[in-house]
Structure 1
Amino acid sequence: MFLQNNEIRDLLNQVADLLEIRDDNPFRVRAYREAARVIEQMTEPVASLVKANKDLSQYRGIGRDLAAKIREIVETGGLEQLRRLRQELPVSLLDLMQVPSLGPKKTAQLYKHLGVASLEDLERAARRGQIADLSGFGEKSQQHIIESLGRVKKSGEKRLLWSDAAVHARALEEYLMDIEGVRRVRVAGSFRRGEETVGDLDVLVTCGRDREKDVMEAFVSFEGVKNILSHGKTKSSVILRPGLQVDLRIVAQVSYGAALHYFTGSRAHNIAVRKLAQDKGYKINEYGVYQGEKRVAGKTEKEVYASVGLTYIPPELRENMGEIQAAADNRLPALLKRSDIRGDLHCHTRRTDGHGSLEEMAHGAIAMGYQYLAVTEHSQKVAMAGGLNEKQVLQYMKKIDAINEKFSGFRLLKGMEVDILADGRLDLADSVLAQLDLVVCSVHYQQRMDEKKQTERIIRAMDNPYCHILGHPTARLINTRDPMEIDLEKIILAAKDRGVILELNAQPDRLDLPSSYCKMAAESGVRIAVSTDAHSVENLELMENGIAAARRGWLTRNDVVNTRSLSELLRLLRRP
């Protein structure tokens, strides 16, 4: 059984969650979470490293005991310790953490005091008013749980983060392309549109007719398949181990473009395109564009769009949110590309909660082809991550200066990720902030204020002339934590008035600023920084996530500050 890195990560996190619910040694819990994070950041498959008998304890954050546990997971597909924990505690406790704001500690409290062990138990206790009486909850938390439960039920099965779905999508593409006679493999659907989460994968394949049976046999035999739902001549469906459904269709070469358009969606976009076709006397379906019984287009997506008088529309824009008219008027934006990016404006080293040294992060950025990388360690408020006080910041700046002397054509920017305190003040003195190249201001604590107070808090922080970038503006964690209650429209206007840049944080579970607000910000004249918030050299590759989100937000090169040269960027960072 070949487990993907994200599957190994999930098993380690499950152990950590159950240990924390059991009130186990916090250092032990932290060790599992740290190992899970290291695994998530690794670009090489851990299963391949184990197979090659590599010593995993050489990776910072993985000790010898955890290295042995990871080897056990790879070799057996499971972990004996996790099996014992699942016998000791109800497995359904893990389901409670689908509800935003319910982490292991609060889940443990609900289980210990109210016997809540499932989502059904949770709803019953909330509607009876029992949760409000628990220490650390209250009426507002209870109502929030009731509302969140409704969203969890409505969404049904938990959707995978786009980056997790990408691991399986790419493994499938590579696997299927190795089959003799296969010409094309493409994953369509919400994955191709770059949505934040993915519910299933639609895979299209073109091949010779004599190879169709081979393709279908290979597909249902794929290593990651958990269940086979159907196995036909040109269509099969399976469930992969994470619960992800994959539908594979073999399509004729002549219909490839029409099928790719149809299965990419969105539904609203496709309906709008079909309406245009009807107005011109055509019919569009997954097989092609037809005038009566005659197929007039469909080999490529460009043909499909041209048949209804439109220029090609990038998949990320296909939501029927203005792209049809823009294509008709030939004014679609030239969306951001990876080659446009000149640097990254948010990262951490092992000086706080990162895994790489300054030198390692710098060389990683140079390998990405960057001109600059902003080192933005946490400030003192984030004590758990070893946040820096003012004296330590000044010392660290000297260290960065010394390292920069070794480089030509590249520069480490002296930055900090400074916490926004509850009253809107920044966590470090202005006299220190004034000496930095840039300051990312973020909310990490007290995220449950009401909308008015939270909005005022953030705007007051932006009033500080040394606030250059507002980091992960909503503080959401996709599938885990709801966004803060803030008036984003008011914050966007405040950012415009003050010359503050908004961050699009590329961490897979953040993608924050959300794409819809990226579009609003750009249209308001507010610039965006697409940054990875990298905690390791490997994390710098997360720029791909940020670019996908930026494209969904209609962002162009001109909307994004880190497409500028170093000298241009430094000019932009000067507040008016």
Structure 2
Amino acid sequence: MGAEKITNEQIAEIFKELGAILELKGENPFKARAYYNAARIIEKLPAPMEEMINSGEIARIKGIGEAVIKKSKVLIETGQLPYYEKLKSSIPPGLLEMLKIPGLGPRKVRKLWQELGITNIGELEYACDVNRLVSLEGFGLKTQQKVLEGIKFLKKYSDKHFISDGIAESELIASVLQEFPKALQMHVVGSVRRRCEIIGEIEVLVAIECELRSELLNFIKEAFSGADVKEKDENIVFRSPGGIPVVIHLVDKSSFIPALFYFTGSDSHVRMIEKLLIDKGYRFVKNAILGKTGRVNLNSEADIYALVGLPFIPPELREGRDELELAGSGEISELVKMSDIKGCFHIHSNYSDGINSVEEMVIRARELGYSFISISDHSKSAFYANGLDEARLEQQWKEIDEINEKYPDFRVFKSIESDILVDGSLDYEDRVLEKFDFVIASVHSRFALSASEQTERVLRAIRNPFVKMLAHPTGRLLLARKGYEIDLERVLREIAKLDKVVEINASPHRLDLDWRWGKLVRELNVKIAINPDAHNVDDVSDVEYGVYVARKAGIPGRNILNTWSVEKLEAFFRKKE
């Protein structure tokens, strides 16, 4: 608030927050209500609070007590209120942000905090995504959906976005541009084309004659009315319907290919290739590559890489890290593609916290052309996710047997996502674990352990002979929380040594394993499973985002279990240490 005079609105906002914090802490509701009432009155005062305090008039206003007047005087004189700061510091800071979600009052936020451990909007969005609110008293499926809608509304004008949102919005923009009456050459570029896990803007490259640019601008203004479409530095800028900043780069047709390369790669990648071009006697500028006899004709980006003796480098790899080394090894042609995917693992059903039945998940997977999935519901200690005890496991296994018989061309593997307990043990005795086709182990609690404690915990779990796979290995939630402290290199080395599998969790909220571990994963020849962590039929399609991570990591398709046949998987899962 600084040296500027504090306004009535600012004073009222602080009293509103005081009331909310008291409710969040479960304290005297009458005291909270008094602060709310004071805030409403202060907002409507006919004169500045300072003037009314100095004149004594404020004391005659019903609903404004002595305590409120004293606190207001401190705010006016110092710009701060120690009582407010102390109270605010006693709760996780994200709780107040959660109150901005339509339909979520302090009581509901307190319940989410106390019963599910949710402390910020990112964690709440993920909890909704995996149906944590469905069985929570006072919530349910409809409330969960409303919360998700409210979160999307809040995020609309944030400056960071999931790649899933970036792809969806960029496809919408591209489809609109295709309706422009004059033929356009265009391509999505930038971080969306590189499939970065978090993006800040959508960039689209458009080749168009100069005389048509004003016509294109007017077309976009009409198509995205209300989006404040304008020209800026030879670009067209606006916000997408989902609130993501959009930059349309305009170039002439002869510049399209070099500009496509330039606007797609990271700065580091572009500089790396530029240096190689210079070494070969070429000069690179943003919209052209110049040789000794002038401008070099280019038919595709592959021509640019060919000039420096490299194969085409896919957009996902253009981050300025080890892609040149990878290109030189010949491994680029081995990168996984969506067409290579034959199935997926780590799917939840309505036996735990999923929405759909086992058979509905199978039907969706078959629609996607898959030949297998694994049902991997939560284990019994995951009370927050309706984890399965032994009796319910037997019931589920019986149903899976019936489904496998009903669909002879499709295989449902019996699996479980077993919580790794704090000492590294699993949720069931060996006599139960041995009945699964394979076990996925994961951490869902005690994130605050030291790196050494967390590492030993995970190592003990993956050394269990029934565990084949480690899920979301750092526990991160993008835009919500960092992963827990862990010596991941040591864990990956142990996984490689034991011939086990690490997951790329394909949920756009996780994308964990991070692609930056790709070089070590390749060196160790670690096996990978791209898992949607699906909690409804739509989530099964999230495998796509995991494929992008695997491609960014440079992992060859042969090391990804999703590309294997059912027979090869059966043999691998049967093999015990």
TM interval, shorter chain, is 0.7 to 0.9
Output the amino acid matched with 1:276.
L
Structure 1 residues 439, 22: closer, same or farther in 2, change over 3 A? closer
Alignment correspondent of 1:311: 311
Does residue 548 of structure 2 align to residue 551 of structure 1? no
Matches within 5 A, 1:270-309: 270-292=270-292, 294-309=294-309
Matches within 5 A, 1:315-326: 315-326=315-326
Output the amino acid matched with 1:484.
Y
Matches within 5 A, 1:347-496: 347-496=347-496
8 Å contact 2:365–2:540 — kept in the other structure? Answer: yes
8 Å contact 1:254–1:299 — kept in the other structure? Answer: no
8 Å contact 1:342–1:565 — kept in the other structure? Answer: yes
Structure 1 residues 334, 183: closer, same or farther in 2, change over 3 A? farther
Distance 2:109 2:395 in 1: 41
How many residue pairs end up in the alignment?
Answer: 469
Structure 1 residues 25, 376: closer, same or farther in 2, change over 3 A? closer
Distance 1:442 1:224 in 2: 47
Greater shift, 16-25 or 192-201, is seen at 16-25
Unaligned regions of 5+ residues in structure 2, if any? 1-96, 131-138
Output the amino acid matched with 1:187.
V
Residue 297 (structure 1) shift = 3.1
Distance 1:222 1:563 in 2: 41
8 Å contact 1:253–1:299 — kept in the other structure? Answer: no
Structure 1 residues 547, 238: closer, same or farther in 2, change over 3 A? same
Unaligned regions of 5+ residues in structure 1, if any? 1-9, 42-59, 84-93, 96-155
Distance 1:11 1:200 in 2: 25
Alignment correspondent of 1:133: none
Alignment correspondent of 1:538: 538
Q: Secondary structure at the match of 2:296?
A: strand
Distance 1:70 1:390 in 2: 33
Output the amino acid matched with 1:493.
R
Residue 308 (structure 1) shift = 2.2
8 Å contact 2:347–2:535 — kept in the other structure? Answer: yes
Output the amino acid matched with 1:342.
K
Greater shift, 488-497 or 285-294, is seen at 285-294
8 Å contact 1:505–1:531 — kept in the other structure? Answer: yes
Distance 1:200 1:348 in 2: 33
Structure 1 residues 26, 329: closer, same or farther in 2, change over 3 A? closer
Output the amino acid matched with 1:404.
N
8 Å contact 1:365–1:540 — kept in the other structure? Answer: yes
Q: Residues 498-533 of structure 1: CA distance to partner in whole angstroms, max 9, x if unpaired?
A: 222100000001111111224312320210001101
8 Å contact 1:404–1:412 — kept in the other structure? Answer: yes
8 Å contact 1:201–1:246 — kept in the other structure? Answer: yes
Alignment correspondent of 1:161: 162
Does residue 281 of structure 2 align to residue 194 of structure 1? no
Out of 5, 10, 14, which is 2:101 matched to? 14
Output the amino acid matched with 1:534.
A
Alignment correspondent of 1:147: none
Structure 1 residues 11, 212: closer, same or farther in 2, change over 3 A? farther
Q: Residues 519-562 of structure 1: CA distance to partner in whole angstroms, max 9, x if unpaired?
A: 31232021000110111111111011000001001012111012
Does residue 24 of structure 2 align to residue 23 of structure 1? no
Greater shift, 284-293 or 207-216, is seen at 207-216
Residue 252 (structure 1) shift = 2.5
Distance 1:356 1:365 in 2: 13
Q: Secondary structure at the match of 2:406?
A: coil
Distance 1:332 1:433 in 2: 39
Distance 2:339 2:311 in 1: 23
Distance 2:218 2:434 in 1: 64
Distance 1:440 1:426 in 2: 10
Output the amino acid matched with 1:254.
S
Q: Secondary structure at the match of 1:381?
A: coil
TM-score, length basis structure 1: 0.74
TM-score, length basis structure 2: 0.74
Structure 1 residues 396, 468: closer, same or farther in 2, change over 3 A? same
Residue 331 (structure 1) shift = 4.9
8 Å contact 1:352–1:377 — kept in the other structure? Answer: yes
Distance 1:416 1:534 in 2: 13
Distance 1:516 1:304 in 2: 25
Residue 391 (structure 1) shift = 2.2
